[in-house]
Amino acid sequence: MRVLGIDCGSRVTGYGVIDSDGADCVFVGCGAIHSKPSEPIADRLKCIYNGIVQIIRELQPEAAAFESLFYATNVQTALKLGHVRGVSMFAAAEANLSIYEYSPLEVKSAVTGYGRAEKPQVQQMVRSLLKLNALPQPYDASDALAVAICHIHSNRFHNLTTHV
């Protein structure tokens, strides 16, 4: 299975793609889609949408995994993040990908074993789990890979419990 993990952000949206046979995860690619904060939100959303569409075309994932929204103290930031998630999910749905969501706690627990892990810890574990020579950069990309890894682990557990 090939999974696209997406870490939504209004300035930087990270993506990470991994392959898995259900046991091992293999790195395919990762990176970030950058939008200009000086541009109107509609143009930034279009940039993110087009970037996700291009990644899906090039890397051909079968599923997309997103981190679910979390509590935000700034309403404007939460709204912008919601818009980014919306266009990102729409791009995945339009490509007929299965879509999954995981809480930040689930993602961090799946990758580090600790739900309150910091970004450097997540990044280091992603490097280790995917047997990468270097840390995946930027943090948005390593976070996206973490979401994809979380999906593989969750999907494997779900398949084990449904086939018993």
Q: What is the pLDDT of residues 59-112, one digit of tens each?
A: 999 999 999 876 667 888 889 999 999 999 999 999 999 999 999 999 999 999
In this prediction, residue 62 carries a pLDDT of: 97
Sole residue written with tokens 């910091």: 118
Q: Say yes or no: domain 2-162 is CATH 3.40.50.300.
A: no
Residues of the chain with pLDDT > 90, as a percent, come to: 83
DSSP state of 125: H
In this prediction, residue 49 carries a pLDDT of: 98
Phi, psi of 119 (to 5 degrees): -55, -45
Active-site positions read 7, 67, 140
Provide the pLDDT confidence category of residue 158 given band limits of 50, 70 and 90.
very low
Provide the pLDDT confidence category of residue 129 given band limits of 50, 70 and 90.
very high
In this prediction, residue 164 carries a pLDDT of: 38
> For the sheet containing 12-20, what is the strand order?
25-34, 12-20, 2-7, 63-67, 98-102
